Chains A and B, each alone.
Chain A
C-alpha cells in the first residue's frame, strides 16, 4: 500500500494516466468554461450599449455621489424632528393596519382557494387566478391607484398594502390549510359536527400559529414597503424622504434613513420576540 502511494506521488505520469478523467477537462467542459462567461460579457456589453450608459455619466455621477455623501454628514433633523417622528409613526400605522386588514381579508379567500376546504374546482380556480392577478401588481402601483381613488394621505397607503398583501396571504394561507392534517377535522365531523365546526375546531387551531407567524413576518417586510409608498404620495416617511432628496437637504436625508433603519430593526426585534413567544406557547406546532 505504501509502496503504491510512493509510486503515485513520485511519478506524475502515473498519476495522470490513473486519473485522466479528473485531471484533464473534457472538450465540452472547456467550451462551457469559455463560452458561458463570454456569453455573459456579450450580453452585458449589449445591455450597456442599448441602455445608453456611458462611462462619462458614471464618472460624473460618482463624483456627484461622493459630494452627496459628504453633505450627509453629520445627520441633522433640520428642526423637523416632530414632523419626521409623526411621519414615522404614520409609516408604522400604515404597515400595521395594512397587514392586519390583509390578513382578515385573506383568511376566507385562503379557505376558498384550498383543495381540502373547497371541493368546487371552478370556485378554487377563480379565486386562485384572482389572487395571482393581485399579487402580480406591485404594492407601489396599488398605492398610485388608491391615491387616485381616495386622495393623497396614509389611508391610500393602508389600502394599497391591504390589497396587495391579500394576494400573497391568500396563497400562503391556502398552502398552510392544505398542509394541515385531515384527522382532526374528520373526527369533529364524525362526532356529528357540521363542516363549519370541522373547520373551526379541527382545522383553524392547526393553521392559526402558522398564519400568525406569517402575519408577523409580513408586518416586518411591510414596515420597509411603507417607507417607500410615501414617494407616490400615499403617506408616511417616504414623502418627507423624497422631499428632502429633491431639495438636496442631504443631512436630513441621512437622518431619515437612520430613523428608518432604527424603526425596522426594532420592529424586527419585537416581532422576533413575539413569534418566539407564540411558537413556544404552543409546543408541537413549530
Chain B
C-alpha cells in the first residue's frame, strides 16, 4: 500500500519558504539587537565595576589554593586527633551558634507579632481607614527595602556591640517582609465570617479576632516558620558588623586567614541551617497538610 504525500504547487511552496525566511531573519535581527544591547551594557558595567579579567587569571591559582588551604588535614592514622585539632574551639562555636539561633528566634517573634498586628489594618478588605492603610504599607515597604545589615550597622552604632542590635535589625527586616505576606493572606480570606461578625455589631478588633484570625492563623504560622529559616542564615551574618552570633568569629577567621577555622565554622553553619530547615519543614507540613495548600 502506498501513501501519497500531498505536495504543494511550486509557487505556493516558494511563497511559504520566503515567508519562513523572512520570519527567521526578523527573529535573528531581534536576537542580534538584544545581544548588542547586552554587550554594550556589559562593557559599560565592566568599566564601572573595574573588571580586570587579567587580575582574576592572575589570582585564579590563589582562589583554588584558598579552597585547598581551608580544607582540614585529616589523616586516617590519627583521625580523631586531627578532628579534635580542626574543631579546637568546638564548644565555644557551639555556644555562638546557639546565640545565633536565639537571635533568629527573637527577631522572628518580634517581626511576626508586629506584622500580625499591622497586617489587618493594611489589608484592603478590612482596613478601617484608607490613610492608615497607606501609612502602614509605606512603613512596611521601608522596613523591607533597607537591607538588614544596614539596620545592624546603625543599631551597633546606637546600642553598642552585641546581640540586641542583631535582634532589632533582623526583626525590623522580617517585620517588613512578613507584613507584606500577611497582608496578602488576609486579603484572600473568605469574607462570610467577617460579614457575620460585622452584622452582629462587632467592632474592628472583634471582626479581626473572630472573623479573620481563625482563617489566617495556619498560614501566618507557616510563613513565620519559613522566615525563621531565612533569619537563621541572616543572624549568622550580622556578626560581621558586630551584632552578635557566630558571624563575628567567621569574620575574624576569614580576615586573619585562619584557614582551617573557616571551613570548620562554615561546616557548622551549613549543618545547623539544614537541620533547622528540616525541622521547620516537618512542622510546616503538620500545620498545613499538603491538600490544604492552594
Interface of chain B: mostly helix, strand, loop or mixed: helix
Q: Mark A231-243, 1 if CB is under 8 A from B, else 0.
A: 1100100000110
Q: Mark A210-246, 1 if CB is under 8 A from B, else 0.
A: 0000000000000011011001100100000110011
Q: Which residues of B have CB within 8 Å of A94?
A: 49
Q: Mark B138-157, 1 if CB is under 8 A from A, else 0.
A: 00001001110110011101
Please state if B240 and A231 are interface contacts (CB–CB under 8 Å).
yes
Please state if B274 and A158 are interface contacts (CB–CB under 8 Å).
no
Given A50-B102, A133-B270, the answer on whether A93 and B46 have CB atoms closer than 8 Å is yes
For chain B, the bracket of interface size reads 35 or more
Pick the interface stretch among A23-31, A139-147, A173-181.
A139-147
Residue of B nearest to A257 (CB): B146
Residue of A nearest to B49 (CB): A93
Which residues of B in the span 40-97 have a Cβ within 8 Å of any Cβ on A?
A: 41-42, 44-46, 48-52, 55-56, 59, 62-63, 66
Please state if A64 and B159 are interface contacts (CB–CB under 8 Å).
yes
Which residues of A in the span 141-165 have a Cβ within 8 Å of any Cβ on B?
A: 141, 144-145, 148-151, 153-155, 157-159
Interface of chain A: mostly helix, strand, loop or mixed: helix
Q: Mark B93-131, 1 if CB is under 8 A from A, else 0.
A: 000001100110110010000000000000000000000
Please state if A232 and B240 are interface contacts (CB–CB under 8 Å).
yes
Q: Which residues of A have CB within 8 Å of B106?
A: 44, 47-48, 51
Residue of A nearest to B157 (CB): A245
| Residue B176 is within 8 A (CB to CB) of chain A in the complex | no
Please state if A61 and B159 are interface contacts (CB–CB under 8 Å).
yes
Contact of A145 among B45, B52, B237, B254 (CB under 8 A): B254
Please state if A148 and B158 are interface contacts (CB–CB under 8 Å).
no
Please state if A155 and B55 are interface contacts (CB–CB under 8 Å).
yes
Pick the interface stretch among B160-168, B178-186, B194-202, B285-293.
B160-168
Please state if B167 and A140 are interface contacts (CB–CB under 8 Å).
no
Given A89-B48, A144-B255, A232-B240, the answer on whether A136 and B270 have CB atoms closer than 8 Å is yes
Given A136-B270, A158-B51, the answer on whether A149 and B59 have CB atoms closer than 8 Å is yes
Please state if B254 and A150 are interface contacts (CB–CB under 8 Å).
no
Residue of A nearest to B253 (CB): A144
Contact of A140 among B98, B105, B237 (CB under 8 A): B237
Q: How far is the CB of B27 from chain A (nearest CB, A)?
A: 11
| Residue B250 is within 8 A (CB to CB) of chain A in the complex | yes
Which residues of A in the span 52-85 have a Cβ within 8 Å of any Cβ on B?
A: 52-53, 57-58, 60-61, 64-65, 68
Please state if B45 and A92 are interface contacts (CB–CB under 8 Å).
yes
Contact of B66 among A44, A89, A149, A154 (CB under 8 A): A149
| Residue B204 is within 8 A (CB to CB) of chain A in the complex | no
A48 to B107, CA, bound (A): 11
Which residues of A in the span 4-31 have a Cβ within 8 Å of any Cβ on B?
A: none
A150 to B237, CA, bound (A): 21
A261 to B50, CA, bound (A): 24
Which residues of A in the span 102-144 have a Cβ within 8 Å of any Cβ on B?
A: 133, 136-138, 140-141, 144
Please state if A40 and B109 are interface contacts (CB–CB under 8 Å).
yes
Q: Which residues of A have CB within 8 Å of B48?
A: 89-90, 92-93, 154
Residue of B nearest to A94 (CB): B49
Interface centre among A65, A93, A153, A253, by most chain B C-beta atoms within 10 angstroms, is A93
Residue of A nearest to B236 (CB): A138
Please state if B244 and A51 are interface contacts (CB–CB under 8 Å).
yes
Please state if B153 and A241 are interface contacts (CB–CB under 8 Å).
yes
Contact of B147 among A44, A90, A224 (CB under 8 A): A224
Interface centre among B59, B62, B105, B244, by most chain A C-beta atoms within 10 angstroms, is B59
A136 to B42, CA, bound (A): 28
Sort A-B residue pairs by CB-CB distance and give the 9 closest, nearest first.
A61-B159, A93-B49, A93-B45, A93-B48, A64-B158, A136-B270, A47-B102, A51-B163, A154-B49
Q: Could you pull out 27 A-B pairs where Cβ atoms are within 8 angstroms?
A: A51-B103, A51-B163, A51-B164, A53-B164, A57-B162, A64-B159, A65-B158, A94-B49, A97-B51, A136-B269, A138-B236, A141-B254, A148-B257, A150-B55, A151-B55, A154-B50, A155-B49, A155-B56, A158-B51, A159-B56, A227-B147, A231-B149, A232-B240, A235-B50, A241-B153, A260-B145, A261-B145
